[in-house]
């Protein structure tokens, strides 16, 4: 079910710009430590302002805030969701991500590496196939899952049974902190929509932003600023939190506080 992210980008007027090529060359953090924070959009603007002297903002043809859409895939038994809900270390997440401003799509597989690092692999994909797994997509997912599944056969079985279960849209501002070897992304206007077992109306996350810092190991200045303001890393996951919000019957103790406090007013 298509959903459209509202407008309302954050202001980055005080930041110097960087290109996508420069960003990828300098901070290609596909293996990293991620920390996420759920904060208000006003606090997110403060983060940008505080980092203005040391951060660069991704700028493509004069645009500094970009619209994204993702489709998440899971097994009929929701293995990916339940692994996250039960805090399994060997877990996976599979999605397509479409950059709506440039009509580029990637199939992405995330797994956990040593010391709680996130390992992300991705495959260039056709936008027309963003809501399904092609034969090439199934083979790619199976290759990525083989180390977790224990055998190539089991990984192929899991990959063949994946179905689209949820869609998201949001707007993203991407910061590069070159002196710290880190990135920070700020997502606003987040909305979820159920795709299975049946399509449903979108649910918005309300006036909140999701800030995600992506570092080789240590905390970056964005983390330190948020900590001084009393914010600690959150358990929010676009996929798992969205599924729990859309399907109240799922086990969701891990995200209980988010759903009953911060996000309750956005229902």
Q: How much is the pLDDT for 4?
A: 42
3-state secondary structure string across 181-206:
CEEEEEEEEEEEEECCCCCCCCEECC
Q: How far is Cα of residue 77 from the mean position of the Cα atoms in its chain?
A: 22
Give mean pLDDT, residues 89-109: 94
Neighbours of 165 (CB within 10 A): 23
Q: How much is the pLDDT for 219?
A: 83
Q: How much is the pLDDT for 209?
A: 94
Q: What percent of the chain has pLDDT over 70?
A: 91
Per residue in 65-87, pLDDT (tens digit) is 999 999 999 999 999 999 999 88
**Taking the model in full, what pTM does it have?**
0.87
| pLDDT greater than 90 at residue 24 | no
Q: Average pLDDT, whole number, for the chain?
A: 89
Per residue in 191-246, pLDDT (tens digit) is 999 998 888 888 999 889 999 998 866 788 999 999 999 999 988 999 999 999 99
């Amino acid at each position: 079910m298509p959903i459209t992210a509202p407008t309302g980008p954050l202001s980055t007027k005080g930041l110097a710009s960087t290109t996508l090529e420069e960003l990828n060359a300098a901070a290609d953090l596909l293996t990293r430590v991620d920390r996420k924070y759920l904060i208000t959009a006003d606090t997110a603007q403060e983060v940008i302002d505080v980092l203005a002297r040391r951060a660069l903002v991704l700028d493509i043809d004069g645009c500094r805030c970009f619209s994204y859409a993702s489709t998440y895939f899971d097994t009929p038994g929701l293995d990916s969701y339940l692994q996250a809900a039960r805090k399994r270390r060997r877990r996976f997440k599979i999605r397509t991500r479409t950059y709506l401003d440039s009509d580029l799509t990637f199939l992405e597989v995330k797994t956990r590496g040593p010391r709680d690092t996130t390992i992300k692999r991705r495959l260039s994909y056709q936008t027309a196939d963003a809501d399904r797994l092609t034969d090439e997509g199934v083979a790619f997912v199976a290759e990525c899952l083989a180390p977790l599944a224990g055998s190539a056969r089991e990984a192929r079985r899991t990959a063949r049974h994946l179905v689209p279960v949820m869609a998201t849209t949001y707007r993203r501002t991407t910061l590069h902190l070159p002196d710290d070897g880190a990135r920070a992304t700020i997502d606003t206007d987040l909305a979820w929509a159920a795709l299975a077992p049946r399509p449903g109306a979108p649910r918005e996350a309300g006036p909140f932003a999701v800030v995600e810092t992506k570092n080789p190991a240590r905390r970056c200045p964005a983390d330190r600023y948020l900590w001084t303001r009393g914010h600690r890393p959150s358990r929010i996951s676009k996929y798992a939190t969205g599924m729990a919000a859309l399907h109240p019957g799922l086990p969701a103790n891990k995200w209980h506080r988010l759903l009953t406090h911060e996000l309750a007013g956005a229902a």
